[in-house]
Amino acid sequence: MAVIPGEPRARVELTVGALAPRLISRESARAHVAVAAAGMVLLGGDRVDIEIDIAPGCTLEIEDVGGTVAYPGPRSTWNLSVRIGAGGALTWDGLPFVVTTGADVLRRSSLTLGADARAVIRETLVLGRHGEHGGRLVSELAVTDDEGPLVVERLDVHGDAPEPGVLGDNRVLDAVIAIGFRPPTRAADLEFAGAGAMARHLSDHTHGSPLDDVWGSWVAHAERSRHDVTV
């Protein structure tokens, strides 16, 4: 997936694979894309690679449709690689990523940001469908800019063998991640040493998360701060 500026509308390159992206709208340097699974994803042993390139000065808004379910079987892999050019922006409102009992998933997200680039990403990780404990999930996040690493973290959880002090009795980890700017934060939020922050919420269900309001606030703040930089 790529967004390249153009007149009167940006050029948007979309490839259908495990996911089926659909163009919703576009302007000269902005695109809105919806993504949904093209089939059953993730089956055991599947490998999904998602590459996103956002040209300098462009904005890409991704809307998740339907979320993702990882089914029982051998290890499946989900790789996301994002490159955001100078002054570019990404917002991705992700729906729940559910790891069913018996599934084994490695989920990697890698973001590389140019100067004054920014991103706001929502991710909701869920161990198991209703009534399940869930399988194993290894989730890795790495964010870098021109000066080096900004965020590097790794979460390793298993619904049948919970680690003390990680998720406890909770099966849902909801998160909003802001990179490249300083959003308004709450006392419980984590502020990065560089420009950025993370808000998290643990629960045993996906509905009624307080991060719904955080998501809207941080996306709006990212847009305003980006406008201030470019004016």
pLDDT in tens, 185-198: 999 999 987 789 99
Percent of the chain with pLDDT over 70: 95
Comparison of pLDDT for 170 and 198, the residue scoring more: 198
* Mean local confidence (pLDDT), 9-21: 92
Output 142-146 pairs: Cβ under 8 A, ≥24 positions apart: 142/108, 142/109, 142/110, 142/111, 143/110, 143/111, 143/112, 143/113, 143/179, 143/196, 144/111, 144/112, 144/113, 145/112, 145/113, 145/114, 145/115, 145/117, 145/180, 145/194, 146/113, 146/114, 146/115
pLDDT in tens, 127-168: 999 888 899 999 999 999 888 888 899 999 998 777 666 787
Query: Which pLDDT belongs to residue 115?
Result: 94
pLDDT at 5 over 60: yes
pTM of the model: 0.91
